[in-house]
Structure 1
Amino acid sequence: MPVRSAWLINRTETESGQSRADTRLAPVGTMSPNGALTSLGGVLPGSQTGEHLMSGLYVFGESAGMRATVAPGRAVIQGQGPAGAYPVVLTDYTSLLLEDGDASNPRIDLVVLRVHDAQFDGGDRTEAALEIVKGEAAATPEPPQMPPASMPLARITVPAGASAGTDGIDWDTDVYDLRTPTVAAGGIQPESWNREVPGGYPGQYRDTVATLQRWDGTRWADYPRQVGGIAPQGALAAGEYTGQYRDEAGALQRWDGTVWRPAVPSTAWAYNNDGGYCTSTAWVEAVEDTKGPTVTATFTVPVTGAILVTVGFMGNNGVEGQWCRMGVNIRKDGVLVLGADEVRSASAGSKTLTSVSDTFRVTGLKAGEVYTAVSAYCSSATSNRGWFDNRYIRVDPLV
């Protein structure tokens, strides 16, 4: 079997042991620490065209039957404790024959790359080898235990009754890739087929194709999540520290410790172009004889706590010499914070149809909180129908 390992057997007079070719082929410099004396095992990434993450040690079948093929490749296998890590290389395509399936139940076999080292495992073999670890047949089979000093390459489901004479293994559906990549210390770890492999030390990085991540000692955190970084769309449901920013559908948001708020609040705008009238001498939030709803603009208060409110309408009065006004009630969670007032209103004072508006400043609001500006109307007399059309409210943040 063309499986070789560096640092396993010394060269002897009988020409066995590690050769110069073994040293050249085996990945002797690929060690990513995950403990004081241990290294992260895995397959070296890379493919001939650079199109795929890794092509080495891929397990596949070329035709129906029970024979699997393992592609050439290089790997690192962590041995038992103080044995250290073994650089291993498979130099040629290699076939492995699986046993026929159980008559009644399926089973799960593992294809593993394993190192036998009599100096440490007490056995009688000192070599690297490809092996099939046979599972137990059952109605709901489980994978067998991994042997020591080994690395899984694939999980193969062997159907009940499978054999070369019954079409054997369905290589498109019955094989699950178990390879994980490994790189040298300081290198960026590639993705692991969406399997969670913990980092070996804080400050280690990995590439998930979608983003760069950093191991913080307990988990992989997207690199943009680090202090000062802007988290990309969909990366964070909740912020990780107060003052963190994220991109949300093109808008920048800031985490206030509880919820995401717009980092730069935008202008709020609401309008209704259906006319109505008011005869109330007290402020009311709706006009009569209109199809549209009350005009309500919802806004988020900027860090200054200050806003500019503009109200306007096109209107007139039923009685000459009377007036009608439009203002706003500012509410938070339905509670009135600032009521409408004549000094903060747009006013029409004749029977002639006129467009009027007014802009005023409001301060002392709670930064980051959501408020509503609700239209309010009044008339100079109950006998006067003040007409309001093309009503609007605009709220601009003062930053």
Structure 2
Amino acid sequence: MTVRAAWLPPTGQTRADTRLAPLGAMAPEGELTTRAGVIAGGTPLAATGVGPMQVQISTGRAIVQGTAAQGAYPVVVTAPETLTVADGSPQYGRIDSAVIRVYDGQYDTTGQTTVTVEIVQGTPSATPTAPALPAASIRLWDITVPAGTSAGVGGLDWTRALADRRRYTAAYGGIIPRGWDLSVPGAYDGQYRDNTTTGLERWNASARTWLPYPYDSGWQPLTLAAGYGHPGHGMPAAWRRYGPIVMLRGRIGPTKSGTTIPNGATVLTLPVGIRPAGGKEFAWASPRDQSNKAPSICRVEIQPGGNVRTYEFVELPQWVSLDGVAYTAN
């Protein structure tokens, strides 16, 4: 056989079966389940039209998860498999799926113990959708079959008919390659995947979302204390977190025209998650004004609770700057 699954047949598993099929702990999806998918390397389980109504699935390896009681089946396709697509419906189009399917008579009612690459036929409809998968199977490709399609009228346009539906998996702790669907959630906090466009992403279990790694928040506005705002020059006050590093920028001044910032004023409170461990201090000096008056010099502290507070003034400033402030978040 050219499509084989290790640990499926009750007898007769060969040493070659064991060597070729993927083994070891794969990416988990639950306490007793494994993330099903294709094993990356080359162009595994690629689809190519080889006839008007025939498609060939190339060699490759995959993991197929059954129920939690069944476990996961390591599968290998050692020679290309050619599948025949049924003629199109006279009235409506449909979507078929090329799948890897495991039949295990100990857990299903098929009475078979085998694994196949096969076509699951969809239902003709004015708005066709891909068919639901049978148990213990993974979708590889969707095939759009327009109404009236057959070999006698030229068959399928394979450049338009095929849609890649391969989803990938990896060994436990490995980085999962991108598949066709980026909406698939992660399984545990700290799992990584490659989305191929912006780079690595890390699964945040509490937020149930994939975040860029290293995490980059982009510039986010800061909420200032009552009586303070943007003084009308420079950048508005904002923060950005890249991995563990927080950067601040912007200028803060009193909203009341012509006033200065008093000593000991709290101009804002940093949100939880971007506060420096143990606090931070920095010095700031305003430029000379048009009268060539000496610049205002002061110190600013970020307290452990997140308050940004001014102190130790030489001259009371009309605004303070956060530009260039960076630190490690707690």
What's the counterpart of residue 269 of structure 1? none
- Any residues of structure 2 matched to 1:129-168 within 5 Å, and which? 129-168=116-155
Q: Aligned with 2:168: secondary structure? A: coil
Q: 1:4 to 1:119 in 2, by over 3 A?
A: same
What's the counterpart of residue 211 of structure 2? 221
Q: Aligned with 1:172: secondary structure? A: helix
Which amino acid letter does the alignment assign opposite residue 360 of structure 1? A
Report if the CA contact (8 A) 1:305-1:364 is conserved: no
Report if the CA contact (8 A) 1:308-1:397 is conserved: no
2:36 aligned with 1:44, yes or no? Answer: no
Which amino acid letter does the alignment assign opposite residue 287 of structure 2? L
What's the counterpart of residue 236 of structure 1? 218
Q: 1:66 to 1:398 in 2, by over 3 A?
A: closer
Could you report, residue by residue, the CA deviation over 1:48-99 in whole angstroms, capped at 9, with x for unpaired residues? Answer: xxxxxxx111122134x11011000000000122100000001101100010
Report if the CA contact (8 A) 2:248-2:325 is conserved: no
Could you report, residue by residue, the CA deviation over 1:240-275 in whole angstroms, capped at 9, with x for unpaired residues? Answer: 9xxxxxxxxxx9x95189xxx983669xxxxxxxxx
Cα distance between partner residues in 1 of 2:168 and 2:53: 27
What's the counterpart of residue 20 of structure 1? 15
Q: Aligned with 1:165: secondary structure? A: helix
Cα distance between partner residues in 2 of 1:239 and 1:168: 57
What's the counterpart of residue 205 of structure 1? 192
Q: Aligned with 2:32: secondary structure? A: coil
Cα distance between partner residues in 1 of 2:240 and 2:321: 8
Report if the CA contact (8 A) 2:249-2:321 is conserved: no
Give unmatched runs, 5+ long, in structure 1: 12-16, 48-54, 226-230, 241-250, 267-301, 312-344, 346-357, 370-395
Report if the CA contact (8 A) 2:4-2:77 is conserved: yes
Cα distance between partner residues in 1 of 2:78 and 2:249: 59
Q: Aligned with 1:141: secondary structure? A: coil
Q: Aligned with 1:83: secondary structure? A: coil
Q: 1:81 to 1:105 in 2, by over 3 A?
A: same
Q: 1:181 to 1:304 in 2, by over 3 A?
A: same
Report if the CA contact (8 A) 1:45-1:190 is conserved: yes
Q: How far off is 1:194 after superposition?
A: 5.1
Cα distance between partner residues in 2 of 1:398 and 1:110: 55
Cα distance between partner residues in 1 of 2:218 and 2:212: 9
Q: TM-score, normalised by structure 2?
A: 0.71
Which amino acid letter does the alignment assign opposite residue 3 of structure 2? V
Q: 1:309 to 1:111 in 2, by over 3 A?
A: same
Q: 1:368 to 1:165 in 2, by over 3 A?
A: farther
Cα distance between partner residues in 2 of 1:398 and 1:94: 60
Cα distance between partner residues in 2 of 1:165 and 1:397: 71
Which amino acid letter does the alignment assign opposite residue 21 of structure 2? A
Cα distance between partner residues in 2 of 1:223 and 1:183: 18
Report the aligned-residue RMSD.
3.1
What's the counterpart of residue 263 of structure 1? 248
Q: How far off is 1:165 after superposition?
A: 1.4
User: Percent identity between the aligned chains?
Assistant: 41
Could you report, residue by residue, the CA deviation over 1:158-181 in whole angstroms, capped at 9, with x for unpaired residues? Answer: 011111111211111111000011
Q: TM-score, normalised by structure 1?
A: 0.59
Cα distance between partner residues in 2 of 1:237 and 1:181: 33
Could you report, residue by residue, the CA deviation over 1:200-244 in whole angstroms, capped at 9, with x for unpaired residues? Answer: 11111112222221111111111121xxxxx3xxx636489xxxx
What's the counterpart of residue 95 of structure 1? 82
Q: 1:115 to 1:238 in 2, by over 3 A?
A: farther
Q: 1:256 to 1:361 in 2, by over 3 A?
A: farther
Q: Aligned with 2:69: secondary structure? A: helix
What's the counterpart of residue 244 of structure 1? none
Which amino acid letter does the alignment assign opposite residue 4 of structure 2? R
Which amino acid letter does the alignment assign opposite residue 295 of structure 2? R
Q: 1:256 to 1:113 in 2, by over 3 A?
A: closer
Q: How far off is 1:309 after superposition?
A: 3.0
Cα distance between partner residues in 2 of 1:25 and 1:303: 61
> How many corresponding residue pairs?
259
Q: Aligned with 2:287: secondary structure? A: strand
Q: How far off is 1:195 after superposition?
A: 2.5
Report if the CA contact (8 A) 1:307-1:398 is conserved: no
